[in-house]
Each structure stands twice: as C-alpha cells, then as structure tokens.
Structure 1
Amino acid sequence: MRIYLYILSGITSALIGWSIGQFILSDLGWLQKFPELALFPCIGISLAVGIVITDIFLNNPTRFKRNFSRGIIPLSIAAGLGFLMGISAGGLVQILLNPELRNKLIIIPDEFVRIIGWILIGGAVGLAEGLTWRWRSIEAGDKWRFWQRLIISLSVSILTAFVAGIIFEFIRQQMGEMPITLKAWEDLIGFSLLGSLLGLVLSFSTSPSHLVALRAGAGFEYIENINMLQNQTPNNYPHIQKKLLPKLKFVSNLFADKIEEGLSIQLPAKGKVKIGSAQLKIIGNQKFGVNICIPGLPLHIADLDLAPNQTILVPNLKFFYRIEYQGDRLRESTPIQLKHNDLITFYAESGVYNGKKLFRFVYYNRFLDPQS
C-alpha cells in the first residue's frame, strides 16, 4: 500500500505542477517566450511538497492536526527548494536551447539538455525530502542517520531522474514524429513518468526505520531532583549503563542515561540486554552489572535476546512472577517472543525509588510514528 500511495503521490504532484504551469502560460499569458521558466519551477515545487506531505501523513496517519501544525516548516523548505532548483533547471534549459546561443557555443544535444533539467528537479525532491526529515522524525537527532538519509534521498532521486529522462528520450526517438494531438501532451507524459518513478524509489529509500526499542511508560515519570529522593544513592535511579553495552542509547538523546517516561531506548540489532538493579562494577578488565538498571528490581530479573527479526524476553527462573506481559503476571519462566506494541511490566520493591511499585515498557520493532 505504501508503494502505491507514493507512486500515486508522484503522478498526482506532477499533474498538479504541470497544470499550474499551463495555467500560467495559457490562461495568464505569462512567460510564453520562456515556457521552461514556468513549467520547471511548478513541477519542482509540486513534486517536492507532494513527496514530503506523503511521508508526513504515512508516518503519522492518525494525527492530522499535528501533521498540519508540524508540517509548516518542512513544507516551506520543500517549496523553497523546489522553486530554486526548478527555476535553475528552467533557466539552464532555456539558455542551452536558445537558437542564438547555440550558434555561438558548442552545440549540446536537446535530449541531453532536457535530461539535465530533469536531474535538477529530481535533486530538488531528494534534497527536500532529506533535509526536512530533521523536522519530521526524532530519529534524525542521530547525526549519522540524518546524513545517511539525506545522502540516500538525494542520490537516489538524482539517479531516478536521470533514468526517467533516458527512458522518455528513448521512447520519443522510437515513436519518431509524434502526432500534433499527442505532442501537446508530451511534457505531461514525461513529468508523470518522472513523478511515478520518484515515488516508487523513495517509497523504498524512505521506508520507516525498523529499530528495536523499549519505550518507557508508567513508573518512569519525570522527577526534577533525583538526589533529593529518600534513600537515594548516586546512580540509583532508572538508567541505562552504556559502559556495558555502548550500542544501547536513547533515540532522541544520545548522551543521556536516565530513563524517563516517553523516551525510547534503542536496542542493538543482535546480542543480549540484561535487566535488573545490579550497578556497574569493574573488577580488573571485567565489567559486571545489568544494561537497564531499575532500583527495586532483583539484581537480574530478565534478559532480552536480540536477533534479526525477533526479540525474546527470557525471565529469570527465580523472579519470573515479578514480570507482567500484556497485563498478565507470568506463571512460568517460559521465554516469550515479543511483538510490536507489546507491554512489559516489572514489579519493584515499594519505596526503593520514589515509592514506585511497577515500571512499564512498550516494545517496538519499528518506528512508524517516531515523533509520537
């Protein structure tokens, strides 16, 4: 369904941009001597905005008001980039196809000039999608992921536009001299092809990240001053011990260690994550403790065994009864394969940490709505 929606968005955006361009040229009578200066900016703006809108609403399908309020900056950036790259492409094509200049300069084939214009439009779409991701996803807080996404979006969009241009020019050559009725729709057919291919490719390159994570819920409510809590000792608060497992981190804050309600702990793709209350101890070159440390729990209450495409919750044989899965207390220590949106609750000794008796996580294996 995602693929079809992206393709439909690409085609629809191209049609809207082409229609607006025709309105400027035919109905308003503007820029008739320089048609590319009208068509290319309109196509660039429409495609860039259309792809960004599609990504926003597909990743947040149930939050229309929030999408509109948070989408103002990304859509403005997309429109600006679409206009700048579109007007640049239109101006370049107009200059290179100018008969007077072609007699004085090295002649560049018309097909190559048009392909350059398409590449610039594709670059506008990819640049808009990659740059605006910073405002659309909490995952973009990781600079490496942000630059990775930007480079991928830009490169695949440019490559797609290049391929679309070659395909269309090949079709034009094979068809020879087009009938007048069909030639009037030549640009529309070409830009529709460009939009559909951009939508197809970006539907894959921008697909939601499949990251395994635990989202903190009840029991992890914000406390302003940890050190003022009764019976509190240094580091005796819910936290992740990154010295034991450096790949363990928060999605939104790579440097924090305190677990708070609403934060998502990004888990490694494979390996074992230990949960309990054992503090980090270093003896010689050996490190001991748990990875997710919660006061009031047994020293070691459970493990998460992580492997590609699956996560297994392995309760401790001695303390399985202090774990709740999907609202039911465990009656045995049988390992459980977790699914997206599963609830896991750990019961703690009362009074150890601000009187909290339970700590709840939501398990995610993908971020369809990372900002929620």
Structure 2
Amino acid sequence: MRIYLYILAGLSSALIGWNIGQFFLTDIGLFKEFPEVTLFPCIAISLACGMVMNEIFISNPTRPKLSWRIAKTPLLIAVGLGTLAGLISGGISQILFLPQIRFPTPIVRIIGWLLIGASVGLAEGLTWRWHSMEAGDPKRFWQRFKVSVLGASTASLFAAAIFELIRTTLGAMPAEFKGVEDPLGFSILGLLLGLTFSITNSPSYLGALRAGTGFEYTGENYEDIDPNLQPVNKSSPCIDKSILKFVNNGDAYEIEEGLSIQLPGTGTVRIGSAVKKANIYIPGLPLHVADLELKNRDAILKPNRVAFNCIEVNGERLTSGDDIRRLKHNYVLTFYSEKKDGIKEPKIYRFVYYNRFLDPQA
C-alpha cells in the first residue's frame, strides 16, 4: 500500500503543478515568452509539497489534525526550495534555449529536471527533522538526507532519459500526439520520484523495546542530581549505555515506563540481573534470563535453559529452553522475578517489541 500511495502522490503532484503552470501561462499570460520560468517553479513546488505532505500523513495515518499542525514549517520550506530551484532551472533552461546559443535541447531538459528532482529531495530530507523524532539522531538524519537528495536526483535523470526516448519516438507519429508530451513527461518524473521515496523513506527497521508494566517511576532520578552519576546499588532497572540508548532521551540510563530502548541493528543484547554482564539490567530476575539476537530486520529471543520459565511471549509462558522465538511487531515480552522467601507473587516486567524504529510522533 505504501508504494502505491507514494506513486499516486508523485503522479498527482506533477500533474497539479503542470496544470497550475498552464493556468498562469494561458489564462493569466504570465511570462508567456519565457514558459519554463513559469512552469518549472509550479512543478517543483507542487512535487516538493506533495512528497512532504505524503510522508507526514503516512507517518501519522490516524492523526490528520496533528499532521496538519506539524506540516506548516515543512510546507514553507518545501515552497521556498521549490520556488528557488524552479526559478533557477527555468532561468537556465530559458537561456540555453535561446537560438543564439544553440545548446542541445535534451541536455537542457535533463539539467532542468535534475534541479527540480534535487530540490524535491532537499525539501523531503530537510523537513524530516520537523515531523520525526528519529531525525534527532544526527547520524540517521544525515544518512536519510543524503539518500533523499541522491535518490531524487537519480530519479529525475532517469525520468528525463525516458522522456527523451518517448519524445524521439513520438517525433515520427501524428502531430496530435505531441500535445501530450509535456504532461506525459512530468507524469513520468512524478512517478519515478514517488517510487524512489517509497524506497528511501521506508521505516527504519531498528528495533525498540518500549517499557511498560513493572517500570513505574518510584523514586528520585539520579540524573536530577548529576547526569554523569551512576547508581550505587543497582536497585533500579537500567541499560548498558555502551550499546543501548533511549529513543527520546539519549542521556538517560534508568528504565522507566513509557521510555523506549533503541536496539542495535546487529549483535546480542543480554537480559538479566548480572550487574556487569547484563545489557538490560532488571533486579530480581535470574542473572541471565535471555538474549536478544539481532540480525538486520530480525530479532530472535533466545531464553536461558535454566531460566526459561521466567519468560512469557504474548501471554504464553515458555515451556523449555529450546523455545526460541522470532519476534514480530507489537509482541509483548513479560519477565517474572524469581520467587524468594516472604514474596508471595513475583514482580512482573513487561516490554513491547517494535520491529521498526519507534517514533513517538508517529
């Protein structure tokens, strides 16, 4: 469904921009002598706004009012970049189209479309910061930004090449077919941009564990005193900050209800109560309860053979140490503390696993 929505958004945005440009050119007569100066900004603005809005609404499908609120700044950026890139590409194209210069038409069109595609990629990449908390990670933000710009630029080059091929073919056809050249060409541009963004903007499959029952805040937070101060007695659940961090609070180390632990893309995360060896430390559990083995987009829960009865997956208690589970999105993991003298009921600690990056704004 995601890919179809992106393609539809690209096609409709390109055609809306082209129709707006035709309105200015034919009905108002704006810069009729320089059609590219009018047409290119309209298409660039429409594509940039369309791609940005599509990403925002796909990220928040059940919250349209929230999407409209957070879309204000991204849309202003998209309009500004689209206008600037459209005017530059239109101006360059208009100059190179002058008969005195005699520059090859296909190369001029490729340059113009490349600038339009790059502006759409810039708008999509930059505005991501305003509607996603995942962009708070500088490394992830710049990775996404570079991929967006490069992908959009490449898509525009392919669109220009395909359009020139079609244009050459239509040159040998009846004259009435040439009237569809421009809308057909920009439709191809929008289609390829939508297809590209459906790939480059796919959800980040970095897993996350969201803390739930059992992690309620019960006392003073060490970070209120000194962010660098570590707990003395390890009485509170916490994470190993050398390989783990919280999604929306990278400086914290104590696990509290509602916080989400960002899991690494690959590697092994140990869960238990061993002070120096557990990456997710939970007091009251066995020293080593289980391991989370992370491989690309998969997370595999491997219970300790002597502590498997402390684990529950989606309400189903594990029956053996061989009961290895491949976790799926929204799986609930429950860990029970060991029974000790004077304790009638074991304490429960619960996580919700997400197979894509948990964005609190999504």
TM-score (norm 2): 0.87
Q: Tell me if structure 2 keeps the 8 A contact 1:60–1:369.
A: no
1:199-214 mapped onto 2 (5 Å cutoff): 199-214=194-209
Distance in 2 between residues matched to 1:162 and 1:266, nearest whole Å: 37
- 1:313 alignment partner, SS class: strand
Shift of 1:224: 6.9
1:27 maps to which residue? 27
Amino acid at match of 1:337: R
Q: Confirm whether residue 186 of structure 1 aligns to residue 181 of structure 2.
A: yes
Paired letter, 1:274: R
Q: How does 1:60-79 map to 2 (within 5 A)?
A: 60-79=60-79
The partner residue of 1:272 within 268, 272, 277 is 268
Which of residues 296, 303, 315 in structure 1 aligns to 2:291?
303
Post-superposition Cα deviations, 1:122-170, rounded to whole Å, max 9, x if no partner, equal 0011111111121232222221111111111111211111121122122
Deviation, 1:222, is: 4.6
* Aligned with residue 139 of structure 1, among 121, 134, 137: 134
Tell me which moved more, 337-346 or 173-182: 173-182
Superposition map of 1:211-290 within 5 A: 211-222=206-217, 225-226=220-221, 233-243=232-242, 246=243, 248-280=244-276, 289-290=277-278
Instruction: Output the CA distance in 1 between the equivalents of 2:60 and 2:359.
Output: 6
For the structure 1 residues 26 and 250, does the alpha-carbon distance in structure 2 shift closer, same or farther, using more than 3 Å as the test?
same
Residue 353 of structure 2: which of 351, 354, 363 is its match? 363
- The 3-state SS of whatever aligns with 1:324 is strand
User: Following the alignment from structure 2 to structure 1, what is the Cα–Cα distance between the partners of residues 241 and 358?
Assistant: 26
- Aligned mates of 2:266, 2:150 — CA distance in 1: 29
Alpha-carbon distance change, 178 to 234 in structure 1, aligned in 2, over 3 angstroms: farther
1:164 & 1:238 partners in 2: Cα distance? 53
Cα distance, 1:322 vs. partner? 3.1
- Separation in 2, partners of 1:128, 1:222: 40
Counterpart CA distance in 2 for 1:23 and 1:6 is 26
What are the equivalent positions in structure 2 for 1:61-100 lying under 5 Å apart?
61-99=61-99
Contact 2:301 2:326 in 1 (8 A): yes
Q: Secondary structure at the match of 1:185?
A: helix
Q: Deviations over 1:240-271 (max 9, x none)?
A: 1134xx3x233334443222333322223333
Distance 2:174 2:257 in 1: 65
- Whole-Å separation in 2 of the counterparts to 1:185 and 1:109: 22
Number of positions where the alignment pairs a residue of Structure 1 with one of Structure 2: 350
When structure 1 is superposed on structure 2, of 188-197 and 172-181 the one drifting more is: 172-181
Distance in 2, matches of 1:120 and 1:368, equals: 34
Note the C-alpha offset of 1:59: 2.6
State the identity as a percent.
Answer: 56
The answer to whether the 8 A contact 1:301-1:315 is kept is yes
3-state SS in 2 of match to 1:40: helix
Contact 1:8 1:199 in 2 (8 A): yes
How much does 1:332 deviate? 4.1
Contact persistence 1:142–1:254 (CA under 8 A): no
Q: Aligned pair in 2 of structure 1 residues 78, 363: CA closer, same or farther (>3 Å)? A: same
Rounded to whole Å, the distance in 1 between the matches of 2:188 and 2:326 is 44
Alignment match of 1:124 (pick from 119, 136, 139): 119
- Secondary structure at the aligned position of 1:33 is classed as coil
For the 8 Å contact 1:210–1:366, the answer to whether it is kept is: yes
Alignment partners' CA distance in 2, 1:160 and 1:67: 27
- The yes-or-no answer on 1:111 pairing with 2:99 is no
| TM-score normalised per structure 1 | 0.85
Unaligned runs of 5+ in 1: 281-288, 351-355
Q: What is the root-mean-square deviation of aligned Cα atoms in Å? A: 2.7
How far, CA to CA, are the matches of 2:91 and 2:214 in structure 1? 60
Q: Which amino acid aligns with 1:48?
A: A
**1:33-55 deviations in Å (ceiling 9; x for gaps):** 22212211110011111112222
Q: Which runs of 5+ in 2 are unaligned?
A: 225-230, 340-345
Quick one: which of 319, 324, 339 aligns to 1:335?
324
The structure-2 alpha-carbon separation of the partners of 1:335 and 1:177, relative to structure 1 and needing over 3 Å to count, comes to closer
